[in-house]
Amino acid sequence: MRIPGFDDRAACPAGVGIGYSIGGAGPPLLLLHGFPQTRAMWARIAPVLAQTHTVICPDLRGYGASDKPAQVADYSFREMARDQLALMAELGHARFAVAGHDRGGRVAHRPALDTPGAVERLCVMDIVPTHTVLDPLRREVAAAYWHWFFLAQPAPFPETLIGHDPDFFFEACLLGWGGARLEDFDADQLDAYRAAWRDTATIRGMCNDYRAALTHDFTDDAADPGQRVACPTTVLYGARGAMAREFDVPATWAAKCTDIRAAAIAGGHFFPDTAPEATAEAIAAFLDAARPA
């Protein structure tokens, strides 16, 4: 599925092929999708934001049209963030705003810590910091986010089970974490997700993403627990999502950021899909607030 008005391109800026779409004109904005989606997630959001910004929507490594490296270590958020930094540099953007949902939010968080000069503004959507989710792990969180631990099991166990009926598994994920219905999702976007997640390499890549979270990402976060995001940060979250039910989402970020705003969006975890107009409006407000006086 193409994002209306955007060009589809491919690059290999850091040794890993990245498929991306680009459109609009103005200050650069990087949009990062989550699990189990692709850049098609932004199809009804990116064109709105492209009225005022140059918008870049890549597929994360392991997802969609991007490369799927073989090793778990290749899927740490730090490695995935390097792809995006390299892509933006190749496009001529040394400094940019970034908004990410789900896994994309976790990828966006890492360069805001590691390379603060590159990230001008950060928006994370419907996530709690990785270390906060996992330590200490409460049974209610484990029950809601069971997929973290299933997908992280050694290969080929989850890949084999998922591969027998990818649509059943991934659609169950879309319908969890906040009570969405399948008809709440755009049919063309669903077709794009299905085409991607039926690929065995993509299934393996997504599993490796979650394997890396329990090993590399947890360790990375534990190494700098007091580090704070220096740039202005906006936290958006689903009002009926699993994270809002189990956490005070803005409070989990307050100690991680120096300048934070937060807003709830109607819906569950997948509010960018089910409420694209409200999501675009909230991201636009985040960008407007970021403009210097």
pLDDT in tens, 253-273: 999 999 999 999 999 999 999
**Across 136-158, average pLDDT:** 96
Q: Rounded to an integer, what distance in angstroms lies between the CA atom of residue 31 and that of residue 286?
A: 13
* CB-based contacts of 94, cutoff 8 Å, min separation 6: 88, 117, 118
Active site residue 220: no
Q: Left, alpha or beta for 220 (phi > 0: left; psi -120 to 50: alpha)?
A: alpha
- Could you tell me the residue ranges of all domains in the chain? 7-290
Active site residue 74: no
Question: Pairing mode, if any, of strands 119-125 and 233-238?
Answer: parallel
Write down the catalytic residue from 109, 147, 216, 269: 269
Is 7-290 in CATH node 1.10.443.10? Answer: no
Write down the catalytic residue from 102, 126, 209, 221: 102
Helices 187-197, 166-174: axis angle to 10 degrees equals 130
Q: Rounded to an integer, what distance in angstroms lies between the CA atom of residue 101 and that of residue 265?
A: 13
Q: Is the pLDDT of residue 225 over 90?
A: no
pLDDT band for position 291 (cuts 50, 70, 90): low
What are the tokens at 244?
């809002």
Mean pLDDT of the chain: 96
Query: How many residues in total does the chain contain?
Result: 293
Q: Helices (H) and strands (E) in the chain — how many of each?
A: 15, 8
Chain mean position to CA 114: 17
Examine residue 154 and say whether the peptide bond preceding it is cis (omega within 30 degrees of 0). no
* CB-based contacts of 247, cutoff 8 Å, min separation 6: 128, 132
Q: Is the pLDDT of residue 103 over 90?
A: yes
Q: Left, alpha or beta for 11 (phi > 0: left; psi -120 to 50: alpha)?
A: beta
Q: Rounded to an integer, what distance in angstroms lies between the CA atom of residue 186 and that of residue 208?
A: 27
**By percentage, how much of the chain surpasses pLDDT 70?**
98
Q: Rounded to an integer, what distance in angstroms lies between the CA atom of residue 182 and that of residue 71?
A: 33
Phi and psi of 124, rounded to 5°? -110, 140
Q: Given this model, what pLDDT does residue 236 score? A: 98
